[in-house]
Amino acid sequence: MITARDAGLVACQRCGQVHTLDTAVCTRCEGALRSRDTESLQKVWAWLIAGMIAYIPANTYPMLLTSTLVEHSESTIIGGVVELFEHGSWGIATIVFVASVMIPVGKFLAIIYLALSVQRKSPDNQHERHKAYELVEFIGRWSMIDVFVVAILSALVQLDTIATVNPGVAAMSFALSVVFTMLSAQAFDSRLIWDVDRTQK
């Protein structure tokens, strides 16, 4: 197997058309051509750090502010999951936990691993790393579930004195965290994973 770059060519990532290395704009789809994104890792780290910082207030501040006739309560992401468990809604508690805790944290770790392994020019586990990259790209958006839950609840539960639900600060920072990590994953140039075995062999 030979890459486009080995053959002295550059491929368009948008439409797959192949050109000679000195071409700057794709003749088929007019997209910008770059054999490799040399600033890829810089952007990956920058967005990732921003995403991790935003994830802190997302967990410490309340996500939902609930007022009913008898009580006023604030719940964080983890608090909401625990509450659902206590109500016996196991399935929903699991969905929220996976979307709001496991996916974001797993994504941070996966991106750190991908970026470090490319920096170290590791020749190992290329197929696994590529799968990890695809998974991160595909699954990252699903973290938004909790933000949408908060949006629907605060719109729906507005019954004056009986019960009202309003969004907390965490909803905002959680949404930002998801957007930043999505941008981080998109900035990662997956072709870099495969560049190493060329220098080794």
Partner 1 sequence: MTAAVPPLDDLVACPQCDTLHQAQDLPDGARAFCQRCGIVLMTSKPAAMAQVLSLALTAFVMMIAAVSFPFLTLDAGGLQNATSVIDAVLAFNDGFAFPLAVAVAFFIVIIPLMRLTALIYALGPLVREQEPRPGARTAFALAERLHPWSMAEIFIVGVTVALIKVAGLAAVTVGPAFWAFAGVVIITILKDQLICRYSIWEALDKAKQ
Dihedral class, residue 8 (left if φ above 0, else alpha if ψ from -120 to 50, else beta)? left
30 within 8 A of 43, measured Cβ to Cβ: no
CA nearest to 54, candidates 182, 170, 195, 183: 170
Residue 50 binding partner 1, by CB under 8 A: no
Residue 11 binding partner 1, by CB under 8 A: yes
Residue 84 binding partner 1, by CB under 8 A: yes
d(CA 111, CA 123): 17
Residue 127 binding partner 1, by CB under 8 A: yes
The pairing of strands 163-167 and 158-159 is: antiparallel
Tokens 């170290």 locate to: 120
Residue 73 binding partner 1, by CB under 8 A: no
Residue 182 binding partner 1, by CB under 8 A: yes
d(CA 10, CA 17): 9
What is the nearest approach in angstroms of partner 1 to the Cβ of residue 110? 16
What is the nearest approach in angstroms of partner 1 to the Cβ of residue 158? 5
Strand partners, 67: 72, 164
What is the nearest approach in angstroms of partner 1 to the Cβ of residue 157? 6
What is the nearest approach in angstroms of partner 1 to the Cβ of residue 45? 20
- Contact residues for partner 1, defined by CB under 8 A: 1-9, 11-20, 28-31, 84, 87, 89, 92, 95-96, 127, 130, 133-134, 137, 141-142, 144-160, 162-163, 166-167, 169, 171-172, 175, 179, 182, 186, 190-191, 193-194
